[in-house]
Chain A
Amino acid sequence: MVNNTPSRRSTPRRNTPRRNGSTPAVSTPGGAPSSPDHMVSSPIGNTFSSPPPSDTRRKRARRFETPPSHSRFAAASTPDDSANSPAYSPPPASSEGGGEPDAPSMFVWGTSISVQDMNAAILMFLRNFRWRDDDEEGKYMKAINHVIDTEGESLDVDANDMFEYDNDLYTKMVRYPLEVLAIFDIVLMDMVSRIKPLFEKHIQARIFNLKSSTSMRNLNPSDIEKMVSLKGMIIRCSSVIPEIREAVFRCLVCGHFSDPIVVDRGRISEPTTCMKEECKTKNSMTLVHNRCRFADKQIVRVQETPDEIPEGGTPHTVSLLMHDKLVDAGKPGDRVEITGIYRAMPMRVGQAQRTVKSLFKTYIDCLHIKKTDKSRMNVEDPMETEEGCTPQDDQGTPMDDKEQIEKLKELSKRPDIYDMLTRSLAPNIWELDDVKKGLLCQLFGGSALTLQSGANFRGDINILLVGDPGTSKSQLLQYIHKLAPRGIYTSGRGSSAVGLTAYVAKDPETGETVLESGALVLSDKGICCIDEFDKMSENARSMLHEVMEQQTVSIAKAGIIASLNARTSVLACANPSGSRYNPRLSVIDNIHLPPTLLSRFDLIYLILDKADEQTDRRLAKHIVALHFENPENSEQNVIDLPTLIAYLSYARKNIHPELSDEAAEELTRGYVEMRRRGNFPGSSKKVITATPRQIESLIRLSEALARIRFSELVEKKDVMEAFRLLEVALQQSATDHATGTIDMDLITTGVSASERMRRDNLVGLTRNIIMEKLQLGGPSIRMLELLEELKQRSINAELHLTDLRNALGTLASEGFVTVHGDSVKRV
């Protein structure tokens, strides 16, 4: 038999006795003996006859020497078929003349699938399915034309489209994929040849995006021979295996080449004698490798993704069989979504053994493979404002989660969504509601803005948590890290400057210099969580300046000058330099961070452990409950983590809020008011309560707040909440304890206005004393005496030697006095 289409793999169903008594004999109604060339075996093994739609189809088919289409399953045919049912040979389709109108309805054996009906249904679907109702041309007609134009080999068919258009067709395809796909391919072939008769390649349908995807561990015997869709991670790819499709033999004696012999159910029968009449030597044929036809094949192992593994289990794996174009479509480590046909193949104990092991090897004949994102959340373009790329992106993104998106939208409409999200954030860390709200804003983020001039405004919100040990700062950090789209968790203690940014390294093998990314670059478009920020080396901290405002990391080293993007939000936490926060000192003094860096944080929260019996009791209650009660019933009405992540990623990806006029007005008004608050009427001191940095922070915060509501518009209430958040944070960190007012100088310079005034007063006072007591060039005075004098005169007796020293330092720089050790001399 020289039929050129190896049948699709036989199925267990096919291992059954003769069907319906019909013989698979080939006959042409015209009586003309069909030459081997004319025989077109149906790729559908289960049909005993499959009438080709027209005569042209037959001629066309002749041209496809070995249509690659069917090759995708050919390799799967097992020797067992021949062993178990030696009498069976694939029933070739009888070419019963074209256009016979009343051909009896053909059914795929064992099913209710009528070949004609299927044909028609598929044709209808391909012709008529439209993306939108008003589209002129059907989606797939367009796609087919595109494939023809680009000489492609496959047509991607979205199963969701099929489901929408023809529910029945979809169901049949999933249940009997082998049969339906074979018909599908024939229909496609036919359509292509109508459009472009000379099109040489064969196009096969690649189905993807099934309605439901199976979990790997739920695959069971009932799924065999069904179309399934799985998610997983590629762990191993075999090398490409060339699989023989057509073999050519040569006679060793006379050099005669045999006709190409096609693989039949996984076997090639080597001719025993030379075909040449004159020669007829026995056992002289040898395989000519370079005249054989081979196809690519690859076996890929796919493993469950970690989130699908139940408690106390190990990941399951499944083998995939890839053919032709799909070979090397993925590499180990890729997360993929696979659509394919689940197959089982009997295993035999040994070649020579009679006993058949009652086992099956299972694998998936891969139809379509799609790489899914590696990260938890689609990090592409969360805060970028580049226009134009989004529409295409949308088509590429999985639309399969329509339901979920609906659910998220539903969720966002709740009036208490903001509070609910706050509650759901680290639910076992209680209190700290405002801190959590701030963190929520950080997770959602503002919108980045790039001006025409090239100026950048970051959309990332940076947060610093300062607080006493044991106030679950680190837990919060860990939690955010878990939730963040992409992010690195590092500890300041172990981080070096290069470890955070980037460094140049020499590749040990090639000797090339390569740029290795550090934590900040790696968390581009994510959140970089830095624990123990205060313990970070000066050097490492200093380069954070650039990252936190410019959002880049510049490197100039070893011939590499580069600026890497580091559009990351920084979430840092620090302990006060003494083990406890000293409320008398400013934030700067407490954490020993340079003010320049501190001002780059949008929100600074002080988490203080107040010696408060109420809190202690709550803590005690919480711990006792932890040990003796079931903690599950205490949690209520919170959003679970996966939903939270989905909500977050959807908002970051799809919501780009803009300021409304009303909100902008409110922003201006609020800012002016904040600035004005520093000017006390009648007071000489000028307290800065807000800087331009704050207004940027406010915009970012209000944008994030709008995003939380899935709102495209920043409203007045968002701005007001942003003001509240900022104020809460400022109140904690920038309150001057001497006066009780907010003073941005505390953060920007580390010295509050009242402190500055106090120092000025002291300098003046000292100057007066020295003027009175000391003569120009006269004897010197001891510093302690001076201090006593000062204490007597000043109302505020809290004076330290250091204060005096500072004052004297100022005077000395004015050239008023000289200080030698302990003695002061007027000059």
Chain B
Amino acid sequence: MVGRPYDCLANPLGAVRFTFEKAVSSGSDPASFNRSDWGVADLFREFLFENDGLSQVPILTPSTVKWVQPNSLVRFRGMIQDMLGNEFYVGAYKSKDTWNTNKFTDVSQFPMGSSPDMCVWERRLIYCVPVPGQNLWADATSDGVANTFATSASREKRQRDACSVYDEVEMQDSNNEIQDSPSAKKMREGESLPSEDMNVGTDCGMVMVPEFDRNNFPCLVKIYDSPESDLKLNDVFEFIGVLTFDTDVKDDKNGEIQLENCFDQEELVNQPPSKVPRLHCLVHRKLSPSDLIVRAPTMEPKPHLIKEIRQSLLRHLSVVLGDDDLAANFLLLHLLSKVHLRVDSIAVGKLSLNLTGFDKSSISVFGNRINDAVKNLLPFSQCIPFTVDFLNTASLAPVKDYQTDRLVPGVLQCAEGSHFTIDETELQSGTLNSNGVENTRLLKDLMEFQKVEYDFKYYKMKMDADVQILILSEGKSNILPADIVIPFHPSSASPSGITDEQTLNAWRWYLAIARSLPHSIGADMQKVVEDDMVAARQVDRSLGTEDFNRWLTMGRLMGVSFGETCLSHEHWQMVKEMERLRKERLK
């Protein structure tokens, strides 16, 4: 960091100001900066991605938030849970003949007073939460600045003795010459910052931070200069930006309640700023499943490599499923499925799986094994206990609460590519109330159309989802009609054995990569497929659109599972063979 007039990590705002001043002095009119960038994003991109600064940026977690300094650079990984609209702020203003900017801050640096030259800019507010159902291995919080803490397993412990951690980090930080003590910072920044601000920030930083747990750690992200279509609801993003933790707003509540505050009051209810950290986003990037693998093998997706991994993964799945090879094959395709196209109401590419034939004893063995396997392989997975009680009480769909003006999350609000395991063996006969009926309808809609209806009270809005659904049931599930129903025939219950992290990572990487592969069909193959379908339909009139859709989806996934981008004759035959074997089992 020598040679820079600012420290991107500890004093990102300094960098912002520096570039701003540079831009102004080079003759640009600050008023023209609206909705544009004067080089800040480029600067940070360069710092983060080219100079390998990213790994030094602490990830905001319940534990790190205790020691990360306000106004320093942090990153946050999460899902966009709600959008809170736009916010207008004074972007640039003139104070004593010099232009200043408020971009990336909450509080203006100088008293703005009666500055006549004032530009109002806007920024977007986005409410993020940790991705629902994120599995431990995909949780990036285990790595980051504090590489001293080895694995995720020790994280729980860390939380317990936060004090020692704090000390440790302090030590480490000072070693890195990132001086975080308030006095040092003040010195470096000169008298520019109102001192009370800084003190409040750090003093309260320790006291004010409420206890967060891993799954309840929201963050309010403020997005600048980014087109609306960039960020969508339920997308998983990594935001890198300036952390602020307002602690002083609570004064407002003590103050006399003014009529004008009617607007503010609403706002206060919504986002108690002392509870939710705020991030002024400098750089954001969408995370793909492969980004989540901590130590991803940096391999080229070469066909032979893919085939090898596929083979070992299939063997693993087969062991998990008690040597039921056919079911393992279907499970593999299921794990690779994703919605790749929507035509009207049809979601092309989904492949939900219904394993039937479970009873009380087998579910206890295989249910857990399947769950664990899925958990280890996919970044986001959840188990839904399918009981009457659950259906009657749970709130599956997100509901807009107009009192707080927030979208209250439901179970079905989840990131793209999430996996649900629904255990229907627990379902007993009972009465569903209206909530239960609604919930089953939601689940059914999700399975059929890959859409979730969000309840906005005065109207409902269907949002696209992309969720893999696995159902374990005794007989064929009629409540949740899956694309593939296959009776589960385990032949042994030998322990699945322990797999090392490296193999697991390879599998994770394989699933992530294969899922994202493009796929097409050649003209001659198209002809073969069509002929097969016509022939099949001549034999069995009950075959319909759904069956053909299933075949083609399977064909696509089969090809993809071998890392190929074009449907081959061989794979199509394999699909037909699998379907034949499945039909036999169903008899």
Contacts and interface: CB of A to CB of B under 8 A. Distances in A.
Interface of A: 12, 15-17, 75, 78-79, 84-85, 217, 219-221, 224, 233, 235-236, 238, 241, 243, 266, 297, 299, 301, 303, 306, 309-317, 319, 332-333, 344-347, 349-363, 428, 469-470, 478, 580, 609, 611, 613, 616-617, 619-621, 623-624, 626-628, 631
Contacts of B521: 624, 627-628
Contacts of B461: 306, 309, 315
A84 B114 CA distance: 5
Contacts of A626: 341, 343, 346, 348, 549, 552
Given A235-B457, A616-B538, A623-B552, A310 B228 contact: yes
A356 B232 CA distance: 32
A561 B214 CA distance: 61
Nearest to B101: A358
Contact of A311 (B407, B464, B541): B464
A354 B122 contact: no
Contact of B526 (A306, A352, A628): A628
Interface in B335-357: 341, 343-346, 348-349
A806 B407 CA distance: 67
A238 B461 CA distance: 25
B545 interface: yes
Contacts of B459: 233, 306
Contacts of B556: 627-628
A316 B264 CA distance: 17
27 contacts: A219-B86, A220-B122, A221-B121, A233-B459, A235-B458, A301-B405, A310-B228, A311-B229, A316-B83, A317-B405, A319-B263, A350-B255, A351-B251, A354-B194, A357-B107, A358-B102, A359-B90, A360-B120, A363-B263, A611-B538, A611-B541, A613-B538, A616-B533, A617-B530, A619-B545, A620-B530, A624-B530
A616 B530 CA distance: 9
Nearest to A427: B344
Contacts of B463: 312
B545 A470 contact: yes
Given A241-B262, A628-B526, A470 B85 contact: no
A27 to B, nearest CB: 27
B249 interface: yes
Nearest to A241: B259
Interface in B84-108: 85-90, 102, 105-108
B534 A617 contact: yes
Given A238-B262, A357-B107, A623-B545, A314 B537 contact: no
Contact of A16 (B116, B405, B549): B116
Contacts of A346: 90
Contacts of A428: 343-344
Given A78-B260, A241-B259, A317-B85, 8 more contacts: A220-B122, A235-B457, A301-B402, A312-B232, A345-B260, A345-B263, A346-B90, A349-B249
Contacts of B545: 470, 619, 623
Given A619-B545, A623-B552, A627-B348, A358 B107 contact: yes
A349 B248 contact: yes
B88 A12 contact: no
Contact of B116 (A17, A78, A309, A312): A17
Interface in B4-21: none
A623 B232 contact: no
A320 to B, nearest CB: 11
Contact of A347 (B102, B255, B264): B264
B256 interface: yes
B79 to A, nearest CB: 12
B343 A624 contact: no
B368 interface: no
Contacts of B118: 12
B199 interface: no
Contacts of B344: 428
A353 B197 CA distance: 11
Interface string B517-530: 00111000010011
Contacts of A349: 107, 248-249, 251-252
A266 B530 contact: no
B495 interface: no
Contacts of B341: 626-627, 631
A468 to B, nearest CB: 9
Contacts, number: 202
Majority secondary structure of chain A interface residues (helix, strand, loop or mixed): mixed
Contacts of A15: 114, 116
Nearest to A335: B458
A344 B402 contact: no
Nearest to B521: A628
B418 interface: no
Contacts of A310: 228-229
A125 to B, nearest CB: 32
Kindly list the 8 A-B residue pairs having the minimum CB-CB distance in the complex, ordered from nearest: A312-B232, A350-B251, A351-B255, A470-B544, A620-B533, A360-B88, A221-B120, A358-B102
Interface string B104-129: 01111001111010111110000000
A159 to B, nearest CB: 25
A642 to B, nearest CB: 15
Interface string B259-277: 1101110110000000000
A311 B541 CA distance: 39
A387 B108 CA distance: 65
Contacts of B553: 627
A623 B549 contact: yes
A624 B552 contact: yes
B552 to A, nearest CB: 4
Nearest to A312: B232
Contacts of A478: 345
B269 to A, nearest CB: 12
A235 B194 CA distance: 41
A354 B266 CA distance: 23
A358 B541 contact: no
A305 to B, nearest CB: 8
B458 to A, nearest CB: 5
Contacts of A85: 114
B482 to A, nearest CB: 18
Interface string B283-305: 00000000000000000000000
Contacts of B260: 78-79, 266, 345
A726 B558 CA distance: 49
Contacts of A360: 87-90, 120
B548 interface: yes
Contacts of A623: 533, 545, 548-549, 552
A313 B124 CA distance: 12
Contacts of B255: 350-352
B82 interface: yes
Instruction: Indicate the member of A15, A357, A361 with the most B CB atoms within 10 Å.
Output: A357
A609 B538 CA distance: 12
Given A221-B34, A221-B120, A316-B85, A351 B252 contact: yes
B382 interface: no
A617 B526 CA distance: 12
Contact of B113 (A84, A333, A345, A353): A84
Contacts of A224: 88, 120
Contacts of B262: 238, 241, 299
A565 B122 CA distance: 52
A206 to B, nearest CB: 23
Contact of B120 (A299, A344, A356): A344
Contacts of B34: 221
A365 to B, nearest CB: 13
A355 B111 contact: yes
Contact of A355 (B85, B107, B228, B263): B107
B235 interface: yes
Contacts of A303: 456, 458
A580 B121 CA distance: 65
Q: Which of B105, B111, B120, B533 has the most CB of A within 10 A?
A: B120
Interface string B303-317: 000000000000000
